Chains A and B, each alone.
Chain A
Amino acid sequence: MDALEIARWQFGITTVYHFMMVPLTIGLGLVVAIIQTIWYRTGKPEYLRMTKFWGKLFLINFIMGVATGIVQEFQFGMAWSEYSRFVGDVFGAPLALEALLAFFVESTFLGLWIFGWKQLKRGVHLACLWIAVIGSVFSAYFIIVANSWMQHPVGVEMVDGRPVMTDAWAVFTNNTALVAVPHTLFGALAVAGAFLLGIAWYHLWRRRHDGIDVVGADGKLIPGEAAIPGRDKADYTVWMKSLRIGAVVAMISFAGTAITGDLQGKLMFEQQPMKMAAAEAACHDGTGFSVLSVGNLGATNCDDIVAVIEVPGILSFLAKGDFTTEVKGVNSLLGEYKEKYGTHLPDNPLYGDRAGQEIQYVPVMEVTYWGFRMMIGFGGIAAFAALLALWVTRKGVVPQSKWLMRLAVFGILAPFGANAAGWIFTEMGRQPFVVAPNPDMNGIDQVFMFTAAAVSPGVSAGELMTSLVVLTAIYAVLLVVEVKLLVKYVRGGVASAMPELAHAKDSDDQRDKNDDGTGPDKSGDDVLAFAY
């Protein structure tokens, strides 16, 4: 493999991995903040338990997002120095602002939330979590502004062969970003919804399995108690409420991703028509949405792709909102791209061995075609499963079926899959460009960059291979550790995140008496409310 290919694999692997942790961080953070707010307002002990339990899992995952995020910021300079030189004037700003305005907020206030249970007043403590969560939302916004500029460069002017920012407002309100931000946030919430649903289902199932809860003659559940810390009647409420919150969040967020995704499709049709065509493996102009296309999707020409099942009109609806507009296929776009952006890479030393090569304007259609369908498919499955889960558990009873329980637990993976597929689709669908051309800019104003020119010229394939192997190995090990810890704490139940449940029975009541919310708890030793 040459340096470019290795650098691309590295970026793909590290980014997809990072973006497994991040949606859970954003989504679960929001959910925990909402739950803690309910606890703050109602004082009901089950919401405190939920805050503690889901908060613990949130933190186990949060740190992985932090650790892998540093790689993202460094590797632009390390592996993609030509890219960094080309776009720095406009692309660096959102990254710097993310650190300065969002990540500082997120990490500082999360530290306050983790350690400040007793040092801070209850309201201030809750506010710290909200500030951290809002920080993570802003973080997502800035990163997507940066990414959207690569999808749809705006607000710049070419000076000495490099884009220079002339209109920050245009960059920060890029319409590509304005629809991608809510799409991503809903995607993150979908992850959190499925996470709550799957884990809560498992606990409810387990309570029945262990004989703690029984079903009465009227088909309703009678919660019981076991002589195990945290497995009392309130524990049942914790899981049932978690399950319902999770299911509702999953359904709302699917609707949100669908609506924003539709808007994105219409923008993509204008801004990156080749990506749209490649998403459909649509070789010829037409209106039909492919349900199944077969043939050699990986081929660079379109000749042996056959759409087996096609629904007429739907593609036009996705692209334009009607059923009749002809959507350009790969074949007619190919000519336009060649005419506008050339047929061969320039003979410039920056392209290295790639100088003069023929440009492949068609993205790898196996990836775009199936990536697009996996994104929608996984998202839809998760939402449908959530609806089903609400219906099945309407009487408060989770079925005893082990297979259904397994389905609920493994269903957690579906929105993760949808997120990953969506990003892989949108990033690989942009190829061969790293900065895709904005079709509204012409002539000398054109801003685009081929991925082939972006990689660091001074870095050898050996160095890149070293980092690819090292980072992949570290990520693999840490994934195993994180999942094992999550499983351990999930099985541990609420008491694992709330040791006070194990120390005294009915400690919820005691806690409420001691901690009536008026101020920091001065009675005991409050130097460390939480300790590493």
Chain B
Amino acid sequence: MELLPTIWFVAIAVLWTGYLFLEGFDLGVGMLMKLFARNNTDRRVLLNTIGPVWDGNEVWLLTAAGATFAAFPLWYASLFSALYLPLLAVLAALIFRAVAFEYRGKVDSERWRNRWDWAIAIGSFGAAFGIGAALALTTTGLPLNANGDRSGGPMSWFSGYALLGGFGVVAFALVHALAFLALKTDGDVRHRARSWFVRLVPVAVLPMFGWMVAVQFLSGKPWTWALVAAAVVAVVLAWTLARAGSEGRAFGALGAFIVCATASIFGAAFPVVIPSTIDPAFNLTVSNASSSDYTLGLMSIVAAVGLPLVIAYQSWTYWVFRRRVSAAHIPEAHGFLPAIAAKVLISKDSQVSKDSPVSKGSPEKTASNPSGD
């Protein structure tokens, strides 16, 4: 087996692990906006736990995709074109979700916020599901022909593995987010998150185990089976620690679970990057899908410097924003006080009367918003 393509296969597995670990909880927090939060203050607590970091987390996805393009162009081309419609859905989900984080609080209206909350929740669900499905399919197989193109219609990629992977990542993201919220918030949200976590975690990891075991049966090796066992231990540990009230360690144990899970899945799939369900001769592998050693060597040098740096400054970000957020910290949204009587406001309920644009604006609006935003 060639060395550099193998190193890059590992590097890409590491990038996906980083992505699932980090964006896992912010996707989950996004879904919990509609499942868990009970009022606007709760929702703002949730949002502000991930506010400073979600965008940096998402770059792990872009780096994983970009590194796949650079290191395994044939893998990138076949996977992305074969999954055209599901990835379109992922893109739509990611677009709405990103914009929603930023725009949600920009207009003081219940209807406005509610729409963007749905965008965050559905967008987070769609992205988690689509990416989980894509990763499951690249490790279990796609109907690729000799040129690496999908044969059959726009939905011929579909298999039960797609559902396993999709639900696997969605359910993992949900419990990972609960563990994260228990660690990062205080008060009511913290306690509810912990008790939800304890109740849900045994069920929520099942689809991910389904995907793991499926890949093991297709192409497992002894050491990847061992990782499945380690993942079981990590989940039991996370559950026990959460019950004992040790939130930080429970979060860490669930993190160990996702590391074991991706390692067992990618390890089992190696050296195939996409199995062809039409003919194993059409399989894309680390050797026939990779870039030249020159390109991989260049990328290795840059990644060896760049990736530790990324991990260092992202860790620093988490350190800067290490304090727990609670309802008491959420500042009251200021009634928007336009300097100039605005004609263009987006929703009716935030419209300030035109003849006295300023003086009356704030007290009335604050009063009409008992939720504190």
Which A residues fall within an 8 A CB radius of B? 59-60, 62-64, 66-71, 73-74, 76-79, 81-82, 84-85, 87-93, 95-101, 103-105, 107-112, 114-116, 119-120, 159, 164-166, 168, 203, 206, 210, 227-231, 235, 350, 456-460, 462-463, 466-467, 470-471, 474, 478, 481, 484-485, 487-489, 491-496, 499, 502-503, 525, 527-528, 531-532
> Chain A interface: which of B76-84, B165-173, B197-205, B263-271?
B76-84
On whether the beta carbons of A93 and B295 are closer than 8 Å, the reply is yes
Q: Does B3 contact A (CB under 8 A)?
A: no
Neighbouring A residues of B149 by C-beta, 8 Å: 81, 456-458
- How many residue pairs at the A-B interface have CB separations less than 8 Å? 309
A116 to B105, CA, bound (A): 18
**Residue B336 at the chain A interface, CB threshold 8 Å:** yes
Which chain B residues border A95 with CB–CB below 8 Å? 66, 69-70
A168 to chain B, nearest CB (A): 5
| Choice from B303, B321, B344, B357 contacting A115 with Cβ under 8 Å | B321
Write 8 A-B pairs (CB below 8 A) sorted by A numbering. Answer: A63-B99, A73-B62, A73-B65, A78-B87, A99-B67, A115-B51, A166-B294, A458-B81
The residue of chain B having its C-beta at the shortest distance from the C-beta of A62 within the complex is B102
Closest 7 CB pairs of A and B: A88-B73, A77-B80, A493-B339, A458-B149, A92-B70, A92-B69, A96-B66
Given A67-B94, A463-B85, A474-B95, CB of A101 within 8 Å of CB of B346: no
Q: Find the A residue at minimum CB distance from B292.
A: A164
B111 at the interface (CB under 8 A from A): no
* Bound-complex Cα distance A489 to B102 (A): 14
Given known A100-B303, A114-B52, contact A165–B94 (CB-CB < 8 A): no
User: Nearest-CB distance from A470 to chain B (Å)?
Assistant: 6
CB-based contact A107/B358 at 8 Å = no
- Using known A-B contacts A111-B52, A458-B82, determine if residue A165 contacts B292 with beta carbons closer than 8 Å: yes
Q: DSSP class of B's interface residues: helix, strand, loop or mixed?
A: helix
Contact A492 B339 (CB under 8 A): yes
CA distance A64 to B340 in the complex (A): 26
CA distance A135 to B340 in the complex (A): 35
Given that A491-B338, A502-B337 are contacting pairs, would A93 and B48 also be in contact in the complex, using a CB cutoff of 8 Å?
A: no
Contact A77 B346 (CB under 8 A): no
Complex partner residue of B336 from A71, A466, A496, CB under 8 angstroms: A496
Known: A88-B74, A230-B339. A63 touches B63 (CB 8 A): no
41-68 of chain B: CB within 8 A of chain A: 44, 47-48, 51-56, 58-59, 61-63, 65-67
Please determine whether A492 and B44 come into contact, CB atoms closer than 8 angstroms. Answer: no
Bound-state CA distance A511–B323 (Å) is: 24
Distance to closest chain A CB from B190 (angstroms): 14
How distant is B288 from chain A, measured CB to nearest CB, in Å?
A: 12
List 20 extra interface pairs beyond A97-B66, A108-B56, CB under 8 A.
A71-B95, A74-B65, A78-B81, A84-B76, A88-B76, A88-B291, A93-B70, A96-B299, A97-B70, A108-B59, A159-B292, A458-B81, A459-B150, A462-B154, A467-B88, A470-B92, A485-B346, A502-B334, A531-B48, A531-B105
Asked whether B103 lies within 8 Å of A120 as measured between CB atoms, the reply is no
- The answer to whether A532 touches B47, judged by C-beta atoms less than 8 angstroms apart, is yes
Least CB separation from A120: chain B residue = B320
Cross-chain contact B55 with A107 (CB below 8 angstroms): yes
Q: Tell yes or no: B126 within 8 A of A by CB.
A: no
- Give the size of the chain B interface in residues (CB under 8 angstroms): 95
> Cα distance A115–B50 when bound, in Å?
11
Nearest CB of B to A14, in Å: 10
Take A73-B62, A108-B56 as given contacts and tell me if A474 and B329 are in contact as well, using a CB distance cutoff of 8 Å.
Answer: no
Task: Output the least CB separation between B311 and chain A (Å).
Answer: 10
CB distance from B248 to the nearest CB of A (A): 18
Segment 163-204 of B: residues with Cβ below 8 Å from A: none
How many Å from the CB of B252 to the closest CB on chain A? 22
* Cα–Cα, bound, A15→B190 (Å): 43
Q: Within the complex, what minimum Cβ distance (angstroms) separates B200 from chain A? A: 25
B76 A77 Cβ-Cβ under 8 A: yes
A73-B62, A488-B342 as given contacts; A81 in contact with B294, CB under 8 Å: no
Shortest distance from the beta carbon of B120 to any chain A beta carbon, whole Å:
10
> B71 an interface residue at 8 Å Cβ cutoff?
yes
B333 to chain A: closest CB distance in Å? 8
Nearest CB on B from A239, distance (A): 11
Docked Cα-Cα span, A481 to B359, in Å, equals 27
CB A459 to nearest CB in B, in angstroms, measures: 5
Distance in angstroms from A408 CB to nearest chain B CB is 15
Check if A229 sits within 8 Å of B81, measured CB to CB.
no
**Which A residues are in CB contact (< 8 Å) with B345?**
488
B231 to chain A, nearest CB (A): 28
Instruction: Decide if B329 touches A228 in the complex (CB within 8 Å).
Output: no
Residue of A whose beta carbon sits closest to that of B67:
A96
Query: What distance in Å separates the Cβ of B59 from its nearest Cβ neighbour in chain A?
Result: 5
B371 near A: Cβ within 8 Å?
A: no
Most chain A beta carbons < 10 A, residue from B91, B310, B313, B336: B91
Given the complex of chains A and B, what is the CA–CA distance between A36 and B361 in angstroms?
Answer: 30
Tell yes or no: B325 within 8 A of A by CB. yes
**In the complex, A494 Cα to B323 Cα: how many Å?**
30
Report yes or no: A104 in contact with B73, Cβ–Cβ below 8 A.
no
Residues of A within 8 A of B99 (CB): 63-64, 67, 478, 481
**Proximity string of chain B (298-310) to chain A, C-beta cutoff 8 Å, 1 when within and 0 when not:** 1100110011001
Q: Which residues of B contact A119 (CB under 8 A)?
A: 320-321
B87-113: which residues lie under 8 A (CB-CB) from chain A? 87-88, 90-92, 94-96, 98-99, 101-107
Residue of A68, A229, A471, A525 touching B358 (CB-CB under 8 A): A229
Q: Once the chains are docked, how many angstroms separate the CA of A114 from the CA of B320?
A: 13
Pair A531/B66 contact, Cβ less than 8 Å: no
Residues of chain A within 8 A (CB-CB) of B291 are 88-89, 92, 165
| Given A92-B73, A165-B298, A499-B334: A81 touches B56 (CB 8 Å cut-off) | no
Distance, CA A393 to CA B102, complexed state (A)? 36
A85-B77 contact, Cβ under 8 Å, with A100-B303, A104-B310, A488-B346: yes
B369 within 8 A of A: no
Asked whether, in the complex, the Cβ of B107 is within 8 Å of the Cβ of A485, the reply is: yes
